[in-house]
Structure formats: structure tokens, C-alpha cells
Amino acid sequence: MAHEAQVRYSKLVLAKLRSELVLEDGVVFNNDYEGDPTAGAVKIPVRDDEVAVSDYDKANGISPTSGPTTYTTMNIDKDKAINELIDGYDAAAVPDNLVADRIDSGGYSLARQMDTDGATTLLAGSTVMNLAQMTAQTIYSDVVSIRTAMSKTNIPNDGKRYLLVTPDTLALLLECPQFIRATALGDSTVTNGTVGKIAGFIVKEWNDTTANLAMIAGHPKYATRAHEWAVGVHVQDLAQSGKYIGACAVQGRRVYGHKVLRSAAIRAIYAPGSLTVTLAAATGDSSTGKTVATVTAGNTGNTYAYKLNPSSRATYDMASSAYNGTSLTSGSTAIAVSAGDIIEIVNISSSKVKAVAYVTVKAADIAS
């Protein structure tokens, strides 16, 4: 009975999570991987080359071709849990409505955190496009420029390209005559947060406040998400805890990871702009396992701070004391990292965040 309840609770939380995700599976991320996420890593098949087409010889036939499929490893680096106390009830007596309330809230909270972590991965793995200004008069040409750039790098234009737009950017789109509202496209287009279409992109409203970020453009073929229950959702009696009396808790653990497979397929658009940052292996004594970040453009002054694998992102005009990052000197601060880590770097002027950058650490960026 306990196992049946765990399966049922886990399915309910998963259904809630899927309904709340703005960065949806199948729309923003694919789930094409091999392996079990609970093992700590999965393999993603990668094939950029298309099947070869040759002339057919009726007498001699045709030789077979074999396009290479390689596999890239995605580490499952996020392990999130819910552990919501329900006081006054042991596990056997807790009312269903209390469990349902915690399950609903748990699914919502997990979705928000997965969206945040997924977006950070997209930003860190993207090709950045900086715009001086975005207005209702220019936004259509801006989107067309993004479309052109993606087409020139052979990103499929198959109806699956998307734009994740902030509320401010959506306000500009709504004034644009080329924007087609979702109600004019039919029910098949209306999914979680989808508001319309422009220049071949599905448009989803995304309530994000990352400093200067206007939108993310992409295609789900080139970003993968894997997630699974490490421990299914269940009601845990706390009688043996030595601390709680007559209480229980709704508990569960969800593991997940995200990976961008092709930078040209994911475009992060900032207006008025973002920092431009390069990474290089640290040098000198005690440099093993460290990288150095150098800011090359987009800054106001030379005051910077950073966070490694941030759980939330910096917002424009956030006070430096609220950001509470580690001070960074461009070109010299050695940061201890591992391949796949994401570094958030902010530019601070007048004690406030003015610009930001996200970079993914590669093995070549780390001193050995």
C-alpha cells in the first residue's frame, strides 16, 4: 500500500511539474538520451551530418553509407528535494487534502527551480546577440535578424523554433502588426505560456528578470533535459526522528540535468547588452583546477563579482550587497572549477548590477 501511494503521489507531482514548466519538455528541451538519470549521468546521441544521397546504378546497385553518431555525456548535477512538515498527524492519519496541497505546491516549486536552472544552462551555452535598443518599431526586424542567423547555421525551420520573451519584450511584440496572437492560430498552438507566433517562431511569455535579457531563441533539438525521481514522493512518519512528535512530512527527491548541444541553435538576446567574457586556464603556482575569466566588452567600470552554478540569476540594478557574489578581477582571479560548471559574472557600477554574462567551463579552460 505504501509503495502504491508513493507511485501515485510521484505521478501527481510530476503532472503538476509538467503543467507548470514554461521551459517545457518537447518545446524548449528534448528528452533524447540513453541511461538512467539516477545513475548520475546519461548519454546523448549527437549527429549533425544528414544521410547521404547518391545516384543509383541499376546494374550495380549502390554502396551503403554510414553517418557517424557520437555520444556526449550529460552529468545529472541537480538533486532537489521536498521535505514539507505536516504537524499534528502521523503518516497513517494525515488527511488527503493536506497531502494534496503539499503535492500541488511541491510540483510548482520544482517546476520553477527546473526552469531557472534550465534557463541558466541555455544562457551559458548560447550564442549571445547584443542590441543597443529594442522598440515596437524595430522588434520585428530584430526577430528577423535572429531568424536569418539561425537559418544560416542550418537550424531547422520546421515550426519548432521558439522565442522565450520577457514581459517587457512581449509588450513590444503586442504592438507589432506582424505578431500573430495564439487565438488566431488554433488550439494546437496554445500550450503552456504560448501567446502567439512571429517570423516562424512560437512565442512563449517567460517572466524572467535577468539583467538586460530580452529573450532567448532556440530549437528543442539542440538542448536536452533529463530528470527522474531519485526517491519517489511519499508521506514519511517522523515518530522515530527523536525531534518531532505526532508529525509527518511529504518527502521526495528529483534529480535532473540540462545541456546545450549546439551554441548556434540557442540565441540569448540582450538589450542594451551583456558582458563579453572569455575563459582561459589559470597559470602560476597553485593554478591546477582553476580558470581565469576576462571581460572584454560591455562593462561600465571595472568592478565585477561572480557566482559558480548560481541557483538564481542577477537582476538589473540589484544592489551588490544583495547579490553577495565573490569579487573578481578581470584577467587575474583564479576560480576553482570543473568542466561543465556555469559561471555568472556581473558588472557592478554605483553598487548596483548593470550587466551580466554566463559562461560554461570547458576542459580546455581549466589548468591541469
SS3 labels along 130-197: ECCCCCCCCHHHHHHHHHHHHHHCCCCCCCCCEEEECHHHHHHHCCCCCCEEHHHCCHHHCCCCEEEE
**Inside any domain, residue 55:** no
- Note whether 9 and 110 are same-domain residues: yes
- Note whether 282 and 158 are same-domain residues: no
Q: Is 351 exposed, middle or buried (0-12, 13-18, 19+ CB in 10 A)?
A: exposed
**Inside any domain, residue 33:** yes
- Note whether 28 and 89 are same-domain residues: yes
**Inside any domain, residue 63:** no
- Note whether 93 and 151 are same-domain residues: no
Sign of CA dihedral 35, 41, 47, 48: positive
**Inside any domain, residue 325:** yes
Report the distance separating Cα 243 and Cα 226, nearest Å.
36
CATH number of the structural domain spanning residue 183: 3.30.2320.40
**Inside any domain, residue 168:** yes
**Inside any domain, residue 332:** yes
pLDDT, position 10? 93
- Note whether 152 and 25 are same-domain residues: no
| Alpha helices (runs of H) in the chain, residue ranges in sequence order | 2-20, 96-124, 139-152, 167-173, 320-323
pLDDT, position 198? 95
- Note whether 73 and 165 are same-domain residues: no
Residue 37: which domain range? 2-46+69-123+225-259
- For the chain, the domain total comes to 3
- Note whether 143 and 286 are same-domain residues: no
**Inside any domain, residue 64:** no
pLDDT, position 1? 47
pLDDT in tens, the chain (368 residues): 466 778 889 999 999 999 999 999 999 999 999 999 999 999 999 876 667 788 998 998 888 887 677 899 999 999 999 999 999 998 889 998 999 999 999 999 999 999 999 999 999 999 999 998 999 999 999 999 999 999 999 999 999 999 999 999 999 999 999 998 876 655 454 455 689 999 999 999 999 999 999 999 999 999 999 999 999 999 999 998 999 999 999 999 999 999 999 999 999 999 999 999 999 999 999 999 999 999 999 999 999 999 999 999 999 999 999 999 999 999 999 999 999 999 999 999 999 999 999 999 999 999 99
Which contacts of 233-240 are long-range, i.e. CB under 8 A and separated by 24 or more positions?
233/6, 233/9, 233/10, 233/12, 233/13, 233/82, 233/103, 233/106, 234/2, 234/5, 234/6, 234/9, 235/5, 235/9, 235/86, 235/91, 235/94, 235/99, 236/91, 237/90, 237/91, 237/92, 238/85, 239/90
- Note whether 247 and 217 are same-domain residues: no
Locus of grid cell 505578431: 179
End-to-end CA distance of the chain, in Å?
53
- Note whether 218 and 229 are same-domain residues: no
- List CB contacts of 232: < 8 A, sequence separation 6 or more: 6, 7, 9, 10, 252
Q: Can you give the pTM of this predicted structure?
A: 0.91
**Inside any domain, residue 195:** yes
Report the distance separating Cα 239 and Cα 36, nearest Å.
33
- Note whether 200 and 109 are same-domain residues: no
C-alpha cell at 255: 534529480
Structure letter (DSSP) for residue 275: -
- Note whether 144 and 201 are same-domain residues: yes
Nearest CA-CA partner of 180 in 160, 195, 170, 167:
195
- Note whether 289 and 341 are same-domain residues: yes
Locus of grid cell 501527481: 12
Report the distance separating Cα 127 and Cα 217, nearest Å.
10
pLDDT, position 194? 85
C-alpha cell at 55: 545516384
